[in-house]
Chains A and B, each alone.
Chain A
Amino acid sequence: MADWIDLMGSFIIGSMVMLMLTTFNSTVSSTASENLIDGVTQRQIVSSSTAIEDDFYKMGFRATGEKISVADSCEIKFCGDLGNDGSLDTVRYYLGDIDELSGTPNPNDRYLYRTLNSNEPQSLHIITDFNLSYFDSLSQPISFSDLTNAAGRARVKTVRVLMIQESQESVEDNYALAEFEKTIRPKNL
């Protein structure tokens, strides 16, 4: 009888230990995945923001005419000698359509495009939001209706960039999120 009790006890304790180990493994694995995806998302947004900053700080460099030709909430087109090589470049940033990435698990992601001169648009990164706002020399916001004409765009001295990036894959229905917000004051405007 005592043997049976030992056997039953061992079985119950063993099962509990196994259950704990499985749960522990699962939790550690899930956290590791979250961290991995978080890290990747953060590195991607840093990479995107570096590219944007590099271009935006050169906005208007060596340009004598209109420096910003399109200024919208999720699109901007400006010129500047990006390579400091004497030739004026035109750069356009805009947000792609959400349908272009309908096949990915994240329903909100879309491409952020960058077009240099007359080249084909290149997707800079996959993000979920890209928002631009514009300010004059007194740091007052300029309305988008004012930015439809050249005189309004000529008032722009500062551009605030908000970019949100979510992971394409979710971990337990949660998407890793990284946000970049910066007010850039190109010195050539």
Chain B
Amino acid sequence: MSRLILILLLSASLSYAILNLTQNSNVGLASQNSVDNYSDFEARNIGNSTINMLMSKVADDSTWRQTTPQEINFNNGSAAFTVTSAIFNGENLIKFFVTSDYFGTTRDITVYARPLDIISFGVGVKAAITTNNDVLVLGNITVDGRDHTKGGALIPHKGTYGVWTTEEFDNSGAATIGGTSPASVDHAPSKTPDPSIIAEHQSWPLGHPPLTPEEALQVPPGFSFKAYAQSGLNGSQYVTDPLALHYPLKGITYIEIPPGGFWNYANIQGEGILIIHNDSVNAIIKNTVNNFTGLLIGDDVIHLHSNIIGGVISLTKYPSEGNTIGNSSGEILYSKEALLNVFEKVRPRNFGFAKNRLNVRYWYE
């Protein structure tokens, strides 16, 4: 009997050992299965994240390319990538190719994208100074609607009016006005400007004077200068107190001054689009200092004392201090190049879930 029990014990131990080994093997396979699946998941994540980083880099600088493979370490794995220009499906695109590696599990991801289309503005800037109110210039200010480079050098016969207004223009003091007539004749700044470079009693294409910067430039529906400035894109800033501004100004600078408030001795040093506006259309910018390149849009623009290369738009119909745009020695030079340079940098704010800063055309993973 005892011998039989011994035999049974032995056989039970043997079968238990075999079963245990099989169990261990199954657990090992299940673990391997999980690890493989996780590695594949991680490799894909590394690849996609690398692509997104590369796209962000190209969004900042659309000319940036990486034609020879470069490797980076990423999240315990690595990614080798190239960024090249390519023609795909008949389109000129930027090709992002990433091979990601996570502990031996690899993934190839290819993405074709192109920069976002620029915002198209429905109307251009009509003159060196565009207003919805009577315009009076005093002092030694120079307003020149002839075309200039963004550096201020003259470009003949390509300019526009010196002043465009829905009301009337009046010149006093030693102020000089120049511009290019509709017949492309340049008129140098003069105290008695040629009538062909002054456009009075004009009408906006909208049928009514614009009450917002968006209406003034007829931007596409949904686009908001304020939201763009709040995003901080390309150095843009949104402030309600001008003292909070950082210099030099870049991108879109949106200053929402409370009704009744004003920005005096306004330091406008920088470039881009500078907007001084509130819902009551009575935000005041007054006595500018330092120079600016680009477009200045203000509700109530008073006394431009510094140089602006690009253009100026004043929105209010009821200027707080009469209608004096300038009464000192500033220069307002119209510049198509400066304006285009600014406008071409304004692209849609494509932020948020599942959005990219580039226009992704194809994504192969």
Interface size on B, residues (CB 8 A): 28
Q: How far apart are A4's CB and chain B's nearest CB, in angstroms?
A: 14
Q: Does B363 contact A (CB under 8 A)?
A: yes
Q: Please state if B23 and A32 are interface contacts (CB–CB under 8 Å).
A: yes
Instruction: Please judge, given known A-B contacts A14-B1, A17-B5, A187-B360, whether A42 and B30 are in contact too, CB under 8 Å.
Output: yes
Q: Please state if A25 and B12 are interface contacts (CB–CB under 8 Å).
A: yes
Q: How far apart are A60's CB and chain B's nearest CB, in angstroms?
A: 9
Q: Please state if A157 and B1 are interface contacts (CB–CB under 8 Å).
A: no
Q: How far apart are A48's CB and chain B's nearest CB, in angstroms?
A: 12
**Which of A10, A42, A157 lies in contact with B354, CB distance below 8 A?**
A157
Q: Does A87 contact B (CB under 8 A)?
A: no
Q: Does A98 contact B (CB under 8 A)?
A: no
**Which of B15, B22, B363 lies in contact with A61, CB distance below 8 A?**
B363
Q: Tally the A-B contacts, defined by beta carbons under 8 Å.
A: 72
Q: Please state if A11 and B5 are interface contacts (CB–CB under 8 Å).
A: no
Interface size on A, residues (CB 8 A): 32
Q: How far apart are B20's CB and chain A's nearest CB, in angstroms?
A: 8
**Which of B9, B26, B362 lies in contact with A35, CB distance below 8 A?**
B26
Q: Does A160 contact B (CB under 8 A)?
A: no
Against A, the Cβ 8 Å flags (1 = close, 0 = not) of B39-51 are 0100000000000
Q: Please state if A43 and B33 are interface contacts (CB–CB under 8 Å).
A: yes
- Measured between beta carbons, the chain B residues less than 8 angstroms from A11 are 1
- Measured between beta carbons, the chain A residues less than 8 angstroms from B12 are 21, 24-25
Q: Does A188 contact B (CB under 8 A)?
A: yes
- Cα separation A43 to B89 with both chains bound (whole Å): 38
Q: Please state if B33 and A42 are interface contacts (CB–CB under 8 Å).
A: yes
Q: Does B291 contact A (CB under 8 A)?
A: no
Q: Please state if A36 and B22 are interface contacts (CB–CB under 8 Å).
A: yes
A43 — nearest CB in chain B belongs to which residue?
B33
Which of A29, A50, A137, A187 has the most CB atoms of chain B within a 10 A radius of its CB? A187
Q: Does B27 contact A (CB under 8 A)?
A: yes
Instruction: Please judge, given known A-B contacts A32-B19, A50-B40, whether A18 and B30 are in contact too, CB under 8 Å.
Output: no
Given pairs A14-B1, A25-B16, A32-B26, 16 additional interface contacts (CB within 8 A): A17-B5, A18-B5, A28-B15, A29-B19, A32-B22, A32-B23, A36-B26, A39-B33, A42-B30, A43-B33, A57-B365, A58-B365, A61-B362, A84-B364, A185-B354, A187-B363
Residue ranges of A at the interface with B (Cβ–Cβ < 8 Å): 10-11, 14, 17-18, 21, 24-25, 28-29, 31-32, 35-36, 38-39, 42-43, 46, 50, 57-58, 61-62, 64, 81, 84, 137, 157, 185, 187-188
Q: Top 3 closest A-B pairs, CB basis? A: A187-B363, A39-B26, A32-B19
A-B contact pairs, 20 of them (CB 8 A): A10-B1, A17-B8, A18-B8, A21-B8, A28-B15, A31-B23, A32-B22, A32-B26, A35-B26, A36-B26, A42-B33, A43-B33, A46-B36, A46-B37, A50-B37, A61-B364, A81-B364, A84-B364, A157-B354, A187-B363
